[in-house]
Structure 1
Amino acid sequence: MIFFNNKKKQLSNDSMENGVHMITAAAPNSVISEQFKTIRTNIQFSNADKTYKSLMLTSSLASEGKSTVAANLAVTFAKQGLKTLLVDADMRRPTINATFSIANPKGLTNYLTNREFNVNGAIYETSTDNLFVMPSGPVPPNPAELLNSRRMDSLIDSLEKQLDLVIYDAPPVLSVTDAQVLSTKVDGTILVVRQNVAEKEAVRRTVELLKHVKANIVGTLLNDVETKGGNGYYGYYGYGYYGVKKD
């Protein structure tokens, strides 16, 4: 058995309480927003034979910025004119309700646990054209089982037919099995790796676990990289593909 970060860490609840920083919405012409546009382009051209209708973003461990990347990437796709839905599939540590100021939101778990619930009651418009969000809803006792249900399969299929792109913000792979389960149901998975936080063996193990369930790993994104000018920007660089560089 492999253990990572044996020292107990106090997980930050800042993104859960205050939401994530939406730089692509607040400063669409900033350097970072341009980087997200580059990431969008790389994703769109990563497979010439297929258009991705669903993407999952995850990380190895908590606090690597995957929710921030997922939200800003969703804005970037929406600004291109694509009808985009951001789904908070991190049921244990949700961020969408705080990020988009949705009080007491109905969400994904409401739909998955109540057959009478209309999915439209879990989808919210945002101030960004073409961008919609689905909060996680109440925290359930069995997130992995819900994500692995036939009702979840039906939801994914329905959303893909009605929208141009659905982005799922999933929990870290090494924390729970949710991301592994969801990765088998979406078109592609992107792994977010935070510089000076992610551990090499943890990332390696994450890739192994995703490949074990035959997830389609589109690429990896290195974030929180200091710019050479030292201007303090919270950078997102290094989008690439597994297999390009081998250790």
Structure 2
Amino acid sequence: MALFRKKRGTNETMKHGAKLITIAKPKSPIAEQFRTIRTNINFMSVDEKVKTMAFTSANISEGKSTVTANVAITMAQAGKKVLLIDADLHRPTMHQTFELRNAVGLTTVLTSEADEIYMNQVVNADVIPNLSVLTSGPIPPNPAELLSSKRMKAFLKNVSSHYDVVIFDMAPILEISDSQVLAGEMDGIVLVVRQNVTQKAGIKRAVEMLKISKTRILGYIMNDVRTGADGYGYGYGYGYGYGYEQDSKKA
């Protein structure tokens, strides 16, 4: 049986939000896989602390927003104070996922001319215990310029001091130039790979682009893993970034 099987290349997540299996079925094997991902990320940050991290994919419809939301939830459930930011300024989904208004958000912060913005005016605090969400805000005509601005760097420094971890849902790295700009500001990046959808050439190119931006690749997550004759499961695997080029041959 397939859990939350999604048609390939659709706008389903944009319209209805990501599936929060870690809340709906916290004792399920899939929720446990997300907790395993959380643990592996924590191991990766023992020597080099990861305060800001992002999830991206090579292309659209590969499950990055679902992964991002559920990993953020597991971190909040573990007691960390988490801020989840929707930085996909082309196909935002987090307002749909958590049923929030999107009249203000990240773009509000980055386009404001005010010297100071009170976070309680734009951040949705404790959407679930320990997890706050900053939606994308209105979609701008110039996402790359906003994400590479001095105001973005100042904002990132500010929120990093108020949360244990800040997690970004970024646009696909091969399709949107904004992602490479933002990736270089992160302490670490996780690449989401969809089995039988993400092409090996796309994975290789995505890794190359992340390396060009001098981004630390924490690893990859493979989702939509085939579980047998009955179809697709919504399983997850984790691999380390430094072995990614070799591991990607299995995708």
- Decide: shared fold, TM above 0.5: yes
Summarize the Cα distance change of 1:166–1:229 in structure 2 as closer, same or farther, 3 Å threshold. Answer: farther
8 A Cα contact 2:56 2:192, kept in partner: yes
Q: Which residue of 2 aligns with 1:134?
A: 134
Q: Deviation per CA, 1:108-160, whole angstroms, max 9, x where unpaired?
A: 00110013243332210344210110000001011011000011001111111
CA distance in 1, matches of 2:239, 2:33: 10
SS at match of 2:168: strand
- 2:61 counterpart letter in structure 1: S
How far 1:244 moved relative to its partner? 6.4
- 1:212 counterpart letter in structure 2: I
Q: Which moved more, 1:39-48 or 1:113-122?
A: 113-122
8 A Cα contact 1:107 1:121, kept in partner: no
Q: For residues 12-91 of structure 1, what are the structure 2 equivalents within 5 Å?
A: 12-91=10-89
CA distance in 2, matches of 1:131, 1:87: 11
Number of equivalenced pairs: 238
Q: Which residue of 2 aligns with 1:184?
A: 184
CA distance in 2, matches of 1:176, 1:203: 15
Identical residues among aligned pairs (%): 45
- 2:24 counterpart letter in structure 1: A
Summarize the Cα distance change of 1:150–1:201 in structure 2 as closer, same or farther, 3 Å threshold. Answer: same
Q: Deviation per CA, 1:196-247, whole angstroms, max 9, x where unpaired?
A: 1101101101111110111111111111102358485311123333326636
Q: Which residue of 2 aligns with 1:6?
A: none
Q: Which residue of 2 aligns with 1:171?
A: 171
Q: Which of 98, 101, 111 does residue 100 from structure 1 map onto? A: 98
- 1:27 counterpart letter in structure 2: K
- 1:77 counterpart letter in structure 2: M
CA distance in 1, matches of 2:102, 2:147: 22
CA distance in 1, matches of 2:135, 2:183: 19
CA distance in 2, matches of 1:172, 1:63: 9
SS at match of 1:227: strand
SS at match of 1:243: helix
Q: Which residue of 2 aligns with 1:209?
A: 209
* Alignment RMSD: 1.8
Q: For residues 2-21 of structure 1, what are the structure 2 equivalents within 5 Å?
A: 11-21=9-19
8 A Cα contact 2:38 2:74, kept in partner: yes
Q: Which residue of 2 aligns with 1:3?
A: none
CA distance in 2, matches of 1:102, 1:244: 36
CA distance in 2, matches of 1:128, 1:224: 26
Summarize the Cα distance change of 1:104–1:91 in structure 2 as closer, same or farther, 3 Å threshold. Answer: same
Q: Which residue of 2 aligns with 1:5?
A: none
Where structure 1 has 5 or more consecutive residues not aligned to the other structure, the ranges are 1-9
Q: Which residue of 2 aligns with 1:147?
A: 147
Q: For residues 225-244 of structure 1, what are the structure 2 equivalents within 5 Å?
A: 225-228=225-228, 230=230, 233-243=233-243
